[in-house]
Amino acid sequence: MKEIVVSGIRSTGNLHLGNYFGAIKNFIRMQHEYTCYFFIADYHSLTTHPTPADLHMNVKQVLVEYLACGLDPDAATLYIQSDLPEIAELYLLLNMNAYVGELERCTSFKDKIRQQPDNINGGLLTYPVLMAADILIHRAHKVPVGKDQEQHLEMARTFGNRFNRLYHTELFPEPYAFNYGTQLVKVPGLDGSGKMGKSEGEGNAIFLSDSPDVIRKKVMRAVTDSGPTSEHQAKPDVIKNIFSLMELVSSPETLAFFEEKYNTMQIRYGDMKKQLAEDMILFTAPFREKINALARDEAEIHKIASKGAEKARESASATLKEARHAIGIRRF
């Protein structure tokens, strides 16, 4: 049997090129190598945004964008977290054995206390329990997340092991973080910072749904310097960033052309950015088209989400049945 992979996708925020070359490429490869469950974590978003302007629309957009990138509902099980009542029930059961002390010590909780001191709700405190329920509900072995989620994953192992011990069962395997680490491409931001990310500031990231005009504006504002002062000069970081982005979206000939210009001190960053913008527009065009087409196809979205929920519930209800049985919850 193939190993089981589970990952949650944040339901806020559009996808940018950094996401595409990072997590999403990993997902697309994993879906053919493992039994994958990928879901949109809409419950989790309520811990920080309890009254979202349009939660349904956010979820739809994220789903559409992942599908446009190549997540295949026939290969992976793709669903919306809130479509699985089993997750909420397992969360309830796990909460009984999650200690307030260990939850309060969680780094992400302490960060949130600083970020939103006026809304330190119970959902925030028990965020790691809900995440553990997401993972344990499918008895996952592997979770493709980054370093920032390591502590949450450790807590999922703690809660799963504790459940096994308390109820004398071997229901839950230990889930571990997993990525195809070596092939990860670094996608720099446009603001001179090392990383493309939506929290790094307006204009730093190119979103897959950005219109050509927006892409042009963002790229033309990208940080550069006054140019090389000697031939074959080592590139400062901000310039390396522009070249790295070009390497991702432009042809090898285009890249070689501007390398040559740089090395001979003839480079004009305005020209280079113009070319980069056009190549980014070409690169993102198929995504944009698929995003727009899918967003209009309510029937297709309904079909995909329903089928995903149905497949996910098969696995989830089997786990929950065993969990209830282990505790001693039985029908009269």
Q: How many Å apart are CA 285 and CA 247, to the nearest integer?
A: 17
Q: Which of 22, 36, 44, 90 binds ligand TRP (CB under 6 A)?
A: 44
List, edge to edge, every strand of the sheet that includes 35-41: 77-80, 35-41, 4-10, 142-143, 176-177
Instruction: Report the alpha-carbon angle 188-193-195, nearest 5.
Output: 40
Residues 152-181, mask of contacts with ligand TRP (x by CB under 6 A) = x-----------------------------
Residue 112 annotated as catalytic: yes
Asked if 36 is part of the footprint of ligand TRP (rule: CB under 6 A), the reply reads no
The distance of Cα 298 from the centroid of its chain, to the nearest Å, equals: 23
Comparing every residue's Cβ against ligand TRP, the nearest one is: 8
Per CB under 6 A, 10 contacts ligand TRP: yes
Is 77 a binder of ligand TRP (CB under 6 A)? no
Binds ligand TRP by CB under 6 A, chosen from 4, 8, 80, 173: 8
| Residue 79 and residue 311 in contact, taking contact as beta carbons nearer than 8 Å | yes
How far apart are alpha carbons 239 and 95 in whole angstroms? 50
Q: How far is the CB of 86 from ligand TRP (least distance, A)?
A: 14
The one among 6, 76, 78, 249 contacting ligand TRP by CB under 6 A = 6
Cβ atoms of 173 and 139 closer than 8 Å? yes
198 binds ligand TRP (CB under 6 A): no
Question: Is 198 a known active-site residue?
Answer: yes
The residue to which tokens 């982005």 are assigned: 245
User: Token pair for residue 174?
Assistant: 């230990």
Check if the beta carbon of residue 214 is closer than 8 Å to that of residue 221.
Answer: no
Is residue 250 involved in binding ligand TRP (CB under 6 A)? no
| Amino acid at residue number 290 | K
Give the residue with the Cβ less far from ligand TRP, 62 or 222: 62
Number of chain residues interacting with ligand TRP (CB under 6 A):
13
Indicate which residues carry an active-site annotation. 112, 195, 198
Where on the chain is the footprint of ligand TRP (CB under 6 A)?
6-8, 10, 41, 44, 131, 134-135, 143, 145, 149, 152
